[in-house]
Amino acid sequence: MFSTLLLIFLSLALFYEILSLPLSGLLKFILIVAEMYTVSFVLSKKYDLSTEMGFLLLKSKKGITIIDKLAKNAKLWNFFADVGTVISYGLLSVLLFKKQFSWKSLLAGLAILSVLSFLVAPFSLHFLSSVLTTSFEKKAAVSFGNDNLASLLFLVVMYAGGFFSLILLGIFYYGAHIAILLFNFLIFGQQTITTTQPGGTFLLPGINLPLLEGVLALAIVLVVHEGSHAVLSRIASIPLLSSGIVLFGIIPIGAFVEPDEKKLVRLEQVKQTRILVAGSTANFITSVLFFIIFVCAAVVMPLLPAGFFYDAFKFLYVVFGLTFSLNFVVATVNLLPLPLFDGYRILELNVKNKTLVKAIMYATIGAFLLNFVPWLFI
């Protein structure tokens, strides 16, 4: 026990020492990853813990009991998932998910889609730009939401295809822009790309986000995402083999559930789709809820006197802001048809033309990578 406490203490000390070093964010990130990977390895050997790619999986059956209790209201959760398909795919959901269609879920989904698009999305991008630690990333975060499409086209795409279509169009549009700049740089030597803002950035607590606030916010993101997958799995009578907490070294980064994958892939299309879309749906709904809390906190904070309570409330204010912002970002990005993302599995499951699905996936990978190319010139 003493040796474990000593390891945790030394890990924390080294962690904060790395953060204080006069190095670039990338080098700090590499050093922290190396440290936490080593800590995970030591703890896994000492206590015979399960690991996956350097992450510690603290498995327990207690989480399954909670999930089973939540899964008792199957009708509500199925409606929840159906609303999520509308938020994610707009009116396109009527064509893709015909068996799940209902007017109630359609109207509720379009209403929440509107709130997310006109209130949550703009505030989330501006809040993230205010807490990102480098000026270049601040500009990148703000520019992410400022495409040059006309407002009418934005509305048409949003309601016709939901956030799936919006983010897909966004990365293709900006990816094509960067591809042209890259071509001009390689062929004609034009330097425009060296001052172009990237279309995306990695959000890492302790690197470009506040450490503790970022870890707490990401933990909430992962818990609601994985928890919703688990609840819909239980409603579909899929056994959960285990659940638990995920650690990277000594840093808690979320939770996990382990459904029986063999039974999951044999489920009927509607049930599989509900399970897959539940993660992003939970993140979207959580984003709206924490946005409301964030706005209330923003109203109250100026009324507080300077001192301990103000500082404590400011900490919570940042946690609330990061929670609604990161939930929105994760929910949206998760809809992309990329390998390992739920968006790809949803598309593969509901589109009969598998060649088309593969073509969309490869095109998305290319556009996604192009959005990060400007980082190579910084």
Q: How is residue 307 annotated by DSSP? A: S
Which one-letter amino acid corresponds to residue 22?
P
Which segments of 71-118 does DSSP mark as H helices, in order? 74-89, 92-96, 103-115
- Evaluate whether 377 touches 194 at the Cβ level (below 8 Å): yes
Residue appearing with tokens 């819909």? 232
Q: Which pair of tokens denotes residue 21?
A: 């070093």
Task: Tell me the C-alpha to C-alpha distance, in Å, between residue 153 and each of 158, 160, 330.
Answer: 8, 10, 24
- Evaluate whether 71 touches 54 at the Cβ level (below 8 Å): no
Give the pLDDT confidence of 251-290 residue by residue, as tens digits: 776 677 778 888 888 899 999 999 999 999 999 999 999 9
Residue 229 belongs to what H/E stretch?
Answer: helix 211-235
CA 277 – CA 250 distance, rounded (Å):
31
Which one-letter amino acid corresponds to residue 71?
A
Q: How is residue 117 annotated by DSSP? A: I
Question: Rounded mean pLDDT of 40-55?
Answer: 82
Give the pLDDT confidence of 141-154 residue by residue, as tens digits: 544 444 455 577 88
Residue appearing with tokens 């995402």? 225
Give the pLDDT confidence of 95-143 residue by residue, as tens digits: 988 888 899 999 999 999 999 999 999 998 888 877 765 544 445 554 4
- Max mean pLDDT among 21-35, 153-167, 195-209 falls in 153-167
CA 290 – CA 324 distance, rounded (Å):
5
pTM here is 0.84
Residue 154 belongs to what H/E stretch?
Answer: helix 151-188
- Evaluate whether 170 touches 146 at the Cβ level (below 8 Å): no
Q: Return the pLDDT at 43.
A: 85
- Evaluate whether 65 touches 257 at the Cβ level (below 8 Å): no
CA 106 – CA 311 distance, rounded (Å):
43
DSSP characters for 118-143? Answer: IIIHHHHHHHHHHH-SSHHHHHHHHH
